[in-house]
Structures are given as C-alpha cells and as structure tokens.
Amino acid sequence: MDNGHRPADLPEHIRHYIDGEWVDSVSGRTFDVLDPVSNKPYATAAAGQSEDIDRAVAAARAAFTDGPWPTTNARGRAKVLYKIGDAIEAREDRLAELETFDTGLPITQARGQARRAAENFRFFADQIVALHEDAYRVPGAQVNYVVRKPVGVAGLITPWNTPFMLESWKLAPAIASGCPVVLKPAEFTPLSASLWPEIFAEGGLPRGVFNMVGGIGEEAGAALVEHPDVPRLSFTGETLTGQVIMRNAAAHLKGLSMELGGKSPVVVFADADLDAALDSTLFGVFSLNGERCTAGSRILVERSIYQEFCSRYAERARNVVVGLPRDPATEVGALVHPEHYERVMGYVEVGKKEATLLAGGERPAHLPEGNYLAPTVFADVKPDARIFQEEIFGPVVALTPFDTEAEAITLANDVKYGLAGYVWTNDLTRGHRVASAIDAGMVWLNSHNIRDLRTPFGGVKSSGVGHEGGHRSIDFYTTEQIVHVSLGTPHTPRFGARTA
C-alpha cells in the first residue's frame, strides 16, 4: 500500500553523534528501523556497543573536566538554553512530520511536542538562573554555605512514546545543570533524535556536551548503565527494564531516576459532570494512541451511572477516527512497531475471555496493513483480570463498576503500579479525600493529565523511584557540597600535646 506519507529528505542511515561529529559504530553494526504504517525498513541505524559508549562517555567526561560548560555561569547557560528552545520551535513542522512518520502518532498530536520540548528548555533556563544556594549561620562560630555543582556525565535512556519530548525532559535539566550527557534514544524511534545535533549547534552548546549513541537497550543501554564514569542515570521505560537497570547500576552506586510503567485509575462518581468526564477519559486513554504512561486505562464508575457511562463511552469510542498518522483528521494512528502491536493484540484476546467487549477489539476494516487497532473498550472487568492489572500501552480501556467510595479506593489501589490517578466528582470534600487516598505520584481532580512544569513528576510502587520536574530535576543532576567556615577559634582537643 502506498501511503504517500514519507517525509522528504529522510536519512537512509542514522549515526551516533559523539564529540561534535556524526560517527558509525566502531564495529560497523547496524539495525533496521521500520515505519509503523508499512512496517517496512526505511533506514538503518548504527547499533552502539560498549566501545561506542566508551567514546561518547570519554567525550562527555572531557567536556566536564575541561569545560567550558560546567563552569559557565547560570545566565550564560540560560541564554544558550533559550536559543535551543527557539531552534526547536523553528523546526516544529519538520519535527512533527518525522515524529508522526516514525512513531505513528497522529500529526495533530505530534505537533504539540515541539512546543512542549521548547518549553522544557526555557523552563529550566529560568530555573537555573533563579536557583539559590543555602547558607547556615551558627552565630559567632561558623558560617556554612552550600555549593551546588554539576555531578558529572549524565546517562539518559528514553522510550519510544513521544520520544523527542521525553528526551527534552531529561536533556534540558541535565544541560541546564552543567552536566554533559550521553543520550541513548529508543531503538524503535531514532529519527527525531537526529535533529538534536543541529538544534544544539544552533543554540551554541559547546562541543562534547551533547553526545548520542543509538542502539539496542541490552547493548548500548546496558553499556551506559555499567559505565563507571556516568554517576547519574535518568531512565524512562518499562518497569521490568527499570529493575534490570537498578541491578546493573548497583556496582557503581549510581544516582538513579526511574520513571516507569503505569495502570492508572480514573474514579468517576455519580455526581460528576458526565459530559466532561466522558471527553476527558476518552482523551486520557486514546490520545497518543494509548501509548501514554499516565493513560487512565482503568475507569471505575459508580454503579448508578455505570450503564449509561458504558454505553455513551462505547459509542464515542466507536466514533474515534483511526487512520493514517499524517492525516489531520486522525485521532488514533498506528502503534509504534509490529512487536508492540502483537503484544497489545495479545491483551485484546485475553480481554475477550476475561470481560465484555463493548467496542473495537480488532483492526479497523479500512486499514488492512500497519499497526492499527480500533479503540477497544472492555466492560465488567474484574480486578483480578490481567487487563485490569497489567500495562497494555495501547488504545485499550477497562471499565469496572463500584458501589461505595471505599470500594473505589480499594479498586484504584489494587495494582502494582502507582503513577497517576484521576477523580471525577463535584463534591469538593470527597474529591480531595479520594485524591489523597489514591496511591499514585500524581492525581488530577476533574481533569486529565495537564502538567505544570514546576510540579513533581513521578510514580510510587512499581511506577518509579524518585521524582523529576521543577527543582527536583536540578537536584538530581547536581550535587550539594557544604563548606564550613570557622568564625573564631574552634575548640580542638590537643592530641599528642601532653608533655611527659
């Protein structure tokens, strides 16, 4: 099928970027990159191994020890970060077409990614300029001041959903903090990351501060995790991968930030604004093709409105426009990769045995090729069902009724994940009460996921370790050193001063 969707000037080969230069793997190894509409390879990419990671870390380490970036003052760094933000925004159209082509995200949703990525750089530029360092006084005895220093080379490992935006989320605070980086983008979607070198060059970032090594997680990713000269690792991806990384990073006692999987609940009470809840819960799980870590993929609905909610929800889901990612009318595009598609389709088959299928459950008839799934709605999903417990990461949602507030809270918390939660009610007191009873790093009351960049981002339980966002990201990439200054003559026991 000719979809005519291939952007102009696509690279045929994607290389690493080390110390200001595009390079292939030392071994010459490559892997194929597919587009999710045809599932045909459109490019090869250099497959990084430990020797490529060694080169990238050495370049980043030299940029750390020999400067100038780590010692550039905050205002100087902020100026560069602002220019980087502008360079990203100037590429909005190109970025959107590359992201849509490579990930299968609908073009209208890919378009917002450039603005969000640019905003991350501007936000952390402001943060770093406004950052204060503490001083502590012990009157007459000491003044103690805290120096905040970039911690060294940061290793950044990112997933394939909204790849460019999630990369920016780590790159911006790491670079703002003065840390040179080695980025290992996801192997399914390396295309948009190939824009970073020209963006950073345009912003004036010194050579060696940004390095990128592509490749398979178990090879390039694992080598970065195990490298002794990388004291901080920020990882976003699956919970299982996070567990492997924590084990492998232990040998060097690295600082880790882990943003992992989710299976987030939405609790809809009978007194909620039902129209708003429907709009929001449909968007919350079907936007970004359902490949969204904070997707509200379990909707718990008070029994008195359950039937009405289910039928209106299913009707809307059947109307969602599934189509070519580049078509502006498309609401759900193609899932990222055939391997992921198989996994999601496997869950759909499990769901058909475990629950009642209300909508979707199959490939739309008008899309015979590519990784398409009609938005899929299961009702009467029991809490022990796999589709209730496990992250599917596709356009699949589970609806479950509840009778009491206590039962809703139990159901919301009855999974291993704890990334996000959503509560819909017009009873203010109950809204706050239920929000705080949900075991999740982030809860939204009467809204889907809309973020304020200053706020903590991260999960609890199997959804993550540590929080990023706002000053927490700067905390992660810097280390605090305390300098104690004596103001008088400290009392010192005089060891060895006794005369015989």
Give me the residues that bind ligand NAD (CB under 6 A), please.
Answer: 157-161, 166, 184, 186-187, 217-218, 221-222, 225, 236-238, 241, 244-245, 259-262, 293, 391, 393, 419, 459, 464
> CA-CA distances (angstroms) from residue 460 to 249, 441, 445, 468?
20, 6, 18, 13
Strands 41-46 and 30-34, how do they pair? Answer: antiparallel
DSSP state of 322: B
To the nearest whole angstrom, how small is the minimum distance from the Cβ of residue 497 to ligand NAD? 56
* C-alpha span between 205 and 208 (Å, rounded): 9
Among residues 152 and 217, whose Cβ is nearest to ligand NAD? 217
Neighbouring residues of 269: CB distance < 8 A, sequence distance ≥ 6: 302, 405, 408, 423, 424, 425, 427, 430
* C-alpha span between 117 and 89 (Å, rounded): 8
Is 179 assigned a catalytic role?
A: no
Among residues 261 and 375, whose Cβ is nearest to ligand NAD? 261
Catalytic position from the list 97, 167, 219, 259? 259
Is 293 assigned a catalytic role?
A: yes
Catalytic position from the list 97, 99, 293, 302? 293
Neighbouring residues of 178: CB distance < 8 A, sequence distance ≥ 6: 69, 70, 71, 72, 77, 149, 150, 477, 478
Cβ count near 377 (within 10 Å): 30
Tokens coding 90: 């100037």
DSSP state of 6: P
Neighbouring residues of 497: CB distance < 8 A, sequence distance ≥ 6: none
Among residues 218 and 342, whose Cβ is nearest to ligand NAD? 218
DSSP state of 195: G
Among residues 31 and 145, whose Cβ is nearest to ligand NAD? 31
* C-alpha span between 102 and 31 (Å, rounded): 15
Among residues 203 and 262, whose Cβ is nearest to ligand NAD? 262
Measured in residues, the chain has a length of 500
Q: What residue type is 96 in one-letter code? A: A
Strands 232-236 and 255-259, how do they pair? Answer: parallel
Tokens 């007194």 label which residue?
271
Among residues 52 and 302, whose Cβ is nearest to ligand NAD? 52
Among residues 99 and 391, whose Cβ is nearest to ligand NAD? 391
Q: Which runs of E-coded beta strand occur in 80-216? A: 135-138, 142-150, 154-157, 181-184, 210-212
Q: What residue type is 241 in one-letter code? A: T
To the nearest whole angstrom, how small is the minimum distance from the Cβ of residue 470 to ligand NAD? 15
To the nearest whole angstrom, how small is the minimum distance from the Cβ of residue 221 to ligand NAD? 2
To the nearest whole angstrom, how small is the minimum distance from the Cβ of residue 315 to ligand NAD? 28
Among residues 178 and 217, whose Cβ is nearest to ligand NAD? 217
To the nearest whole angstrom, how small is the minimum distance from the Cβ of residue 362 to ligand NAD? 23
**Burial class of residue 413 (count of CB atoms within 10 Å of its CB; 0-12, 13-18, 19+):** middle
Tokens 């918390």 label which residue?
413
To the nearest whole angstrom, how small is the minimum distance from the Cβ of residue 277 to ligand NAD? 23
Active site residues: 259, 293
